[in-house]
Structure 1
Amino acid sequence: MSRLIILIGVLATTSVFAQGPPITTETPIMLGLEGNGIRTFGKLISKENATIYVQPIGIPYNITSKFQVGGIFPFRFITPKGAETTGGFADMTVFAKYQLYKKDGKAKTFRILGMVKQTFPTGKTSSIPAIGSGLYQTYVGLVIGKLTTKKGLYADFGYNITNKNASDNFLYNFSIGVPLLPHKYPQKQLNTYLEFNGNYVFDPKIHTLFISPGLQFIPGRRILFETSFQIPIVQNNITTNKTEYMVLLGTRFLLN
């Protein structure tokens, strides 16, 4: 039963919640498929002048029930229209999460986490187009979530600091998750999500916002499958090569 609780990703003192982690928003629950596991997904990004495919591999590890570390190792492939594909290993990220606040009740929980991410310029910049950004980036933010057996509300937001006189940016994500199957044992869950993913660049001022409906299936205690379709609703001050849509298809494994 304890492994089942870990898979679902929510631990409360009085009940187990029928909710998996959100798809494109950070989760405040550090157990389950967000800890001591592997997450990977393929993301297809369709732009006006190019198609981009990203395949990150995320490996989170729970040091304690309140402290998690991990790494994200992405591969990136860019195909400009009328040109050949350029690809390879992109910019690597390491991260840490720490639980700042937790309040559990009957069939509900509320969590706040602090999060720090450091991105290194490991992707090559000599190719055309470049695979990496060539920048060191440091992100500091908060992750918030309120979960019940009927729904999950999630949010994360933070400030991203860059070097080489590149612009800093503010990122924010919101998610609403609703289980579609009744809560029962053994667990088999089908969860639907409506998420919003935003990014505000300060100089020049560029604001993008995507709406991201998604679906998640948990067939057993060690694996889940998920998909999300992201559509831009705001692309302010972007005049060329706008994003048309993004499609995500992925899975998460529990290792132990």
Structure 2
Amino acid sequence: MSNKWYAMIAPVITTGALVFSAAPVTHAAPNTFNTALPVAQGEFIWREQAVFRERSSGGPRDRDVSIAALASVLGYGVNSRLAVFGAVPYFFNKDLDVTTPMGRINRDTDGFGDVTAFARYTLYKNDFTGGTFRIAPVAGVTAPTGDDDETDRFGRLPRMLQTGDGAWEGFGGVVTTYQTLQYQVDAQVLYRENGRHDGFARGDETRFDTSLQYRVWPASLENVSGTPGFVYALLESNLVHRDRNDVGSGVDQNSGGTQWLVAPGLQYIGRRWIFEGTVQLPAASNPHGDALEDDAIVRVGFRRNF
């Protein structure tokens, strides 16, 4: 399977799925990647995030890809420092329009994707009046539970349309969070090593993510006892580098590359619920050959502490 499907879902199930916080609900968190804020001991956190992604490439194939997916994540606070998570993606639709010798054709599929399990551990914390600073490593694995051999009337679907990768994959990184009563800043470095299956290995991936969440309503915390919730403005940055895919004994020259996405968004923070949305847009891109590039990614969802 190509970079496409995991590039879409990775920010949800390997990093974005980590953006849960059991800290006071008056504080926001990133929408597209991780936070170092803890999950309270004995608490669960449930998250649903719908992702709508449009991608395209140049070249003679002139590919257009549309994806609609839902990532379901459940997290649990083992203790004050350790939290564990499980994530299951479901693809409502993975659609490809491509130019072939037969002309322009459409191919699509749907179904459950690969399941991911991961853990986050608070290695360092410094709590101070009105805020905190934390550093937390994260590590996990993705199991090949999705389908990787689906077919249609044209034959076996291309790897970019398969809902599963067919290989075990591992990832690890570090996230930091600096939080105050007015704003929060998060940053993450994450590396994913992809396995090989059926003579194919998707290129390994390195991510550098940052996020600023700023409370825009109410502007002041004075006399807010009757306020039902809080509104935060988000601005996030995602720099992603993907190596070329290995195919047989060689590499696919039209895969991988580097892309920088910028994502403005909003969050509404209630007592136990968080509703959020962002739009990721390409700021810069340097694909290898005719590799797919992101045109836009819309993320809408909620989180629930219990």
TM-score tier by shorter-chain length is: 0.7 to 0.9
Q: Is the 8 A contact 2:37 2:134 kept in 1?
A: yes
Secondary structure at the counterpart of residue 83 of structure 1 = strand
Asked if 1:207 is matched to 2:230, the reply is no
Query: Sequence identity, in percent?
Result: 24
Q: How does 1:1-256 map to 2 (within 5 A)?
A: 9-10=22-23, 18-31=26-39, 36-48=44-56, 49-76=64-91, 77-81=93-97, 82-127=105-150, 128=157, 129-164=161-196, 165-182=201-218, 183=221, 184-185=224-225, 186=227, 188-203=229-244, 206-218=257-269, 220-238=270-288, 239-255=290-306
Query: Which shifted more, 139-148 or 238-247?
Result: 238-247
Q: Is the 8 A contact 1:8 1:221 kept in 2?
A: no
Query: How big is the alpha-carbon RMSD for the aligned residues of Structure 1 and Structure 2?
Result: 2.0
CA–CA separation in structure 1 for the residues paired with 2:228 and 2:191:
37
Q: Which runs of 5+ in 2 are unaligned?
A: 1-19, 57-63, 98-104, 151-156, 246-255
> Displacement of 1:210 after TM fit?
0.7
Q: Which residue of 2 aligns with 1:4?
A: none
Q: 1:79 to 1:203 in 2, by over 3 A?
A: closer
Larger radius of gyration: 2
Q: Is the 8 A contact 1:212 1:230 kept in 2?
A: yes
TM-score, structure 1 as length reference: 0.87
Query: Which shifted more, 158-167 or 118-127?
Result: 158-167
CA–CA separation in structure 1 for the residues paired with 2:291 and 2:23:
43
Query: Which shifted more, 60-69 or 83-92?
Result: 83-92
TM-score, structure 2 as length reference: 0.74
Q: Is the 8 A contact 2:26 2:229 kept in 1?
A: no
Kindly provide the amino acid, as one letter, of the partner of residue 146 in structure 1. Answer: Y
Q: Is the 8 A contact 2:273 2:304 kept in 1?
A: yes
> Displacement of 1:84 after TM fit?
4.9
CA–CA separation in structure 2 for the residues paired with 1:38 and 1:244:
29
